[in-house]
Amino acid sequence: MRGGAANPVRLRYTKRGKVRWISHRDVARALERAFRISELPLAFTEGFSPRPKVSFGLALSTGHESDAEYLDLVFAEEVDLGPLSVSLTEALPEGMAVTGAVPLLERAPALQEAVTAVVWQVEPVTADGAPIDASQLAAHVVRALELPTLPTARRRKGRDVEEDVLPFIRRCELRETNPVSVEMELTTQPRSAKPGDILAGIARATDLPGGLAEARVLRTHQWIERDGTRLEPLVADTRPRALEARAS
């Protein structure tokens, strides 16, 4: 459907279980298929090859899970957002679920520019996949964060570069879960680091025997920070719900 007033909406969705192994592109395809099944009145771009006006947030690495993924889309007409999460979830692969939908201000900043920090829950193991002792890991994390730099090798623009990942770390704390996990809060602006980069930097800087690898990675939060206030993306840049306003 084309034409009509623009009605931007922001969705939050999850990616859990086996579906974590599908790529970012396949996630986009699954969501666009769900939009078609739900017969949503999407707005389209102009031109020779029109596309739905859908804008994704920060990409999630293949193999990582998330409770906090976001995308913005534009409807060509007003849509009742109340039942939207349920109808979309029913049309998505197992492990993907829409958990929130809010009306968005027109010309709201893009998610990739607006999100300034993300939180990860990481279950580390040694490089050969063996469990790691919690007290040993805690000691290495504390020691690493006290260092002036945390260099690690990263792949950027097709080549390996040496980079200090310490400036990306807001917080890195051991959690007494089973298995043991590390909660990391990392910045995303002007650049970001992956949890695996942080683990590699910790292991290298503290000479941790066996190194560190990721057994499981879960993105739990994304944050938009403005003027000292931290906002979840479903709270930032929202507008009143027109359908609810008319009904009241």
pTM greater than the 0.85 cutoff: yes
State the pLDDT at residue 241. 64
State the pLDDT at residue 248. 39
State the pLDDT at residue 84. 96
Kindly state the tokens that stand for 226. 């403005």
State the pLDDT at residue 129. 86
* Closest-CA residue to 199 (of 214, 180, 181, 188): 214
User: In terms of CATH architecture, what is 114-226?
Assistant: 2-Layer Sandwich (3.30)
Does domain 7-108 fall under CATH 3.40.50.150? My reply is no
Whether 7-108 and 114-226 share one fold: the answer is yes
Question: In the block, which residue shows the tokens 């260099």?
Answer: 151
Which DSSP helix (H) or strand (E) runs through 156? strand 151-156
Task: Please enumerate in sequence order all residues whose Cβ is within 8 A of that of 124, keeping only pairs 6 or more positions apart, or say none.
Answer: 132, 137, 180, 181, 182, 199, 212, 213, 214, 215
Residues 7/79, Cβ–Cβ less than 8 Å: yes
14 half-sphere exposure, CB direction, 13 A CA radius: 14
State the pLDDT at residue 50. 85
Cα–Cα distance measured from residue 94 to residue 18, given in angstroms and rounded to the nearest whole number: 8
State the pLDDT at residue 4. 52
Cα–Cα distance measured from residue 80 to residue 241, given in angstroms and rounded to the nearest whole number: 9
Cα–Cα distance measured from residue 12 to residue 70, given in angstroms and rounded to the nearest whole number: 5
| Angle, CA of 200, 201 and 205, to the nearest 5° | 120
State the pLDDT at residue 108. 92
Low-confidence ranges of the chain (pLDDT < 50): 1-3, 243-248
Domain ranges of the chain: 7-108, 114-226
State the pLDDT at residue 243. 43
State the pLDDT at residue 92. 98
State the pLDDT at residue 159. 81
